[in-house]
Chain A
Amino acid sequence: MSAPAAIQPAAGHHEPSKFHFYIQIAMILAVITGVEVVLIYLPLAKGLVIGTLVTLSAVKFLFVIFYFMHLRWDKMFCTILFFIGLILAGFTMFALLHLFGADASKPLSAAAIQLPAAMTAVV
């Protein structure tokens, strides 16, 4: 998706309005949201749906930051700055989910704390 050439920045001048461009982006976002909602009801493989949902959200995400938040027209440094936080947060979430998803982290049910009989369920 590349922006129309006309809206490239031209230093020192009023920029051409991005009015219509923004509206187009918003429409795309709305459509993607619609697709997402429909997707969860489709009888497709779970993995496929998850993959698609994640991809679609990522696309929405990128549209908003690059166009609405005009990272695309700003200095590269803003993108770097934001992505430091974003990637670190993503990495941390990923790690946490893996840590808690591991077998060692299956929580004890409250009963098993007291009753040794329930131990067998854990081991």
Chain B
Amino acid sequence: MAKALAKSSFTEVGHAPAKTFDLFPRPTAKTGLFGWITTVDHKKIGMMYGGFAILFFLIGGLEALMIRTQLIVPNNHFVSAQLYNELFTMHGTTMIFLAVMPLNAAFFNLLIPIQIGARDVAFPRLNTFSLWVWVVGAILLNVGWLSHFVPSWKFGGAPDVGWFGYAPLTSKVFTPDLSTDLWVLGIQILGLSSIVASLNFIVTIINMRAPGLTMMRLPVFTWMALVTSFLLILALPAIAIALIEVMFDRNFGTNFFEVSGGGQPILWQHLFWVFGHPEVYILILPPMGYVSEILPTFSRKPLFGYPIIVFSGVAIGFIGFGVWSHHMFTTGMGTIATAAFSIATMAIAVPTGVKIFNWIGTLWGGRIVTRTPMMFALGFIWMFMMGGMSGIMHSAAPADAQQQDSYFVIAHFHYVLIGGATFALLAAIHFWFPKFFGRLVPEFWGKLSFWIIFVGFNCTFFPMHFLGLNGMPRRTWTYDSNMGWNEGNMFATAGAYLLGVGIFTYFAVLVYTFFKGEKCGNDPWDGRTLEWSIPSPPPEHNFSAIPTVHARDAFWYEKTHKAEIAQEKAALIKAEESHGGIHMPDQSWYPFFSAVGLLIGAYNMAQLHHPVIIMGKDVLSSHMPLAITGGVMLLTSCYLWALEGPAGYHIHLDANGNPPDSHGGHY
């Protein structure tokens, strides 16, 4: 009992009600602009991640549509070579770092605390910090677009080095403009955000589980989030180092990838893919988690082979660290290394297959209710399987020598990234939308968007396998009419438009639902996990009483043991109230301020050696003073943040477990 009570606190041992220091009064607004930028509520943070991610998904999609439009016919001149290179670089970077990763982060934020029966993450202000730092990274990556519209912003356009920015193309000699510096810093900062967020989630999941929620009762999504967080903290440092090295090469004359100084550009490739391959599992493991939540719910059957699914998730994550060089089969690694990485890559199929088999096992003997989320989840299994199969084809190194950097690769990874990750994300959005907005997406429109997306997707990317086998290289802004690629490209582009219509429908319906959709109760899908046990949308404090978990599918258990649970809950609420109510952490300005400092610092850092020009006049001879200003702002904010402490306030519930209108007083 005492243990359960103590759970409600986010602070460390003995968070004595310290008087906080008042340079800025601590923000308390729950709504409005300041309410959102200073929030520490994991749900609001999750929604902001989600909103930004969807925006960038649409932007990335728009870039994809421009790519496809350029390729619709041979020798097209819709965009220039330069713009095309910017488009695919930013399309890849955006989709991976600014769409799928933050969308996953959104679900981590929205769901993890609720699924584990907690009231927030372990370090709420750190969580706010991750969000805004992410936004800083997103801004830096995209700010280059401005120079297409405002010529006086001399960034040289958006980044154009490809999403894996192979050295030495990123060296100052070959890409002298600022876009590459912004790319380097942008990715670096996104990495920082992800590491901080992941540390937070690791501690949250491991340390803040409700009583009774053992690791082997954890919902599979949360498990996958844990594995993903581990992958992030272990993979991102490799690219952080690689980016630092490029940055030094560009700005301080080091020789890491400078051939004339003895540098070996292949080192960049190794460091990049040491990160890059785990990265693709970072993209796919959370989706595997969503699917593992959705399938049982709509099969009316607990997940089949829970321990095996969890274990294979962990196995995929860690074998994934040993296969990076399969992206480098054509770099002349020698026979032994090639063979080793080839075989290791194949090995990944085994744990992945195990998951597929167990998902089918879950369906087997169930009662499959094909609601929209379930359609996307089933679509995921089919499409991911196809993508996985072409992955296996890549893993045979000699065959890959023909496929590498051809459209066959494009086909492979869009099958796993769209057919896999994106389908699962669309399923998840649809599935949890009612929980966070209290409204149910209309089935008809949901299903319609599924079918358009499904057909459009396959029309776009299936032909790309054949384009690749027919020798079409990727990253080519134009092609010739005599290569036998005309029909395939035309078809793919038509498919992409259809896919666009599908995506548009999907989100249009969400917007409609947000305003006008049918209201729904707490538990529209007859769910299994704790999030369905609380109101939709969830109250600020999530649970009126921290639940005690008795079984793997905690909420299904609660539903079949109503009386027992009600009793338990009432007692807990009372006990908590007698201890002063529900403790909630205070909002804070400083995470946001430090992110602003970081933005100012990094933006000026990127153009350190350039003069500052305002309205055509040279104001400063270098950006150094501005960069330092940003840095000082960052450090000061961090210091004040440390000083103010988590603090907090209490919420008091009435007898029914409902919060009264007014909040509890502040310390």
Contact = CB atoms under 8 A, between A and B. Distances in A.
B234 A104 contact: no
Given A92-B238, A99-B270, A104 B260 contact: no
A91 B238 CA distance: 13
A77 to B, nearest CB: 8
A112 to B, nearest CB: 12
A104 B337 contact: yes
B410 interface: no
A110 interface: yes
Given A99-B337, A102-B337, A104-B334, A88 B234 contact: yes
B333 A107 contact: no
- For the complex of A and B, the 5 pairs showing the least CB-CB separation, nearest first, are A104-B334, A102-B334, A88-B234, A104-B332, A99-B337
Contact of A107 (B234, B260, B264, B336): B264
B262 interface: yes
Contacts of A110: 259-260, 262
A118 interface: no
B49 interface: no
Contact of A102 (B234, B264, B318, B336): B336
Nearest to A107: B264
Of the candidates A91, A95, A96, A103, the one having the most CB atoms from chain B within 10 angstroms of its own CB is: A95
B457 interface: no
Given A77-B206, A104-B334, 17 more contacts: A84-B230, A91-B321, A92-B238, A92-B321, A96-B270, A96-B274, A99-B270, A99-B333, A100-B264, A102-B334, A102-B336, A102-B337, A104-B332, A104-B333, A105-B264, A105-B266, A110-B260
B230 A92 contact: no
A85 B229 CA distance: 13
Contacts of A100: 264, 267
Interface of B: 206, 230, 233-234, 238, 259-260, 262, 264, 266-267, 270, 274, 318, 321-322, 325, 332-334, 336-337
Interface of A: 77, 84-85, 88, 91-92, 95-96, 98-100, 102-105, 107, 110
Contact of B234 (A84, A96, A103): A84
Contacts of B262: 107, 110
Of the candidates B238, B325, B337, the one having the most CB atoms from chain A within 10 angstroms of its own CB is: B337
A100 B262 CA distance: 14
Contacts of B260: 110
A100 B270 CA distance: 10
A78 to B, nearest CB: 11
A16 to B, nearest CB: 21
Nearest to B278: A88
Nearest to B328: A99
7 contacts: A85-B233, A88-B234, A99-B337, A102-B336, A105-B266, A110-B259, A110-B262
A104 B234 CA distance: 28
A45 to B, nearest CB: 27
Nearest to A113: B259
A88 B321 contact: yes
A106 to B, nearest CB: 10
A115 to B, nearest CB: 15
Contacts of B321: 88, 91-92
A96 B341 CA distance: 13
B479 to A, nearest CB: 30
Contacts of A104: 332-334, 337
Contact of B274 (A84, A92, A105): A92
A4 to B, nearest CB: 28
If over half of A's interface residues share one DSSP class (helix, strand or loop), that class is named, otherwise mixed; here it is helix
Contacts of A99: 270, 325, 333, 337
Nearest to B206: A77
A3 B212 CA distance: 35
B333 A85 contact: no
Contacts of B259: 110
Nearest to A92: B274
Of the candidates A88, A102, A110, the one having the most CB atoms from chain B within 10 angstroms of its own CB is: A88
Contacts of B325: 99
Contact of B334 (A84, A88, A103): A103
Nearest to A98: B337
Nearest to B271: A96
A92 B273 CA distance: 11
Contacts of A98: 337
A54 B333 CA distance: 28
Nearest to B318: A88
Nearest to B259: A110
Contacts of B230: 84
A100 B271 CA distance: 12
Contacts of B274: 92, 96
Nearest to A96: B270
Nearest to B267: A100
A24 to B, nearest CB: 30
Contacts of B233: 85
Contacts of A107: 262, 264
A103 B230 CA distance: 34
A107 B261 CA distance: 12
A17 to B, nearest CB: 21
A3 B631 CA distance: 45
Nearest to B233: A85
Nearest to B338: A104
A99 B331 CA distance: 12
Contacts of B337: 98-99, 102, 104
B334 A85 contact: no
A84 B321 CA distance: 12
B490 to A, nearest CB: 42
Contacts of B322: 91, 95
Nearest to B260: A110
A88 B274 CA distance: 11
A100 B337 CA distance: 10
A19 B264 CA distance: 49
A49 to B, nearest CB: 27
A102 B336 CA distance: 9
B26 to A, nearest CB: 33
Contacts of A77: 206
A113 B340 CA distance: 29
A85 B270 contact: no
Contacts of A95: 322
Contacts of A103: 334
Nearest to A109: B262
A88 B319 CA distance: 10
A31 B32 CA distance: 63
B317 to A, nearest CB: 10
B195 to A, nearest CB: 12
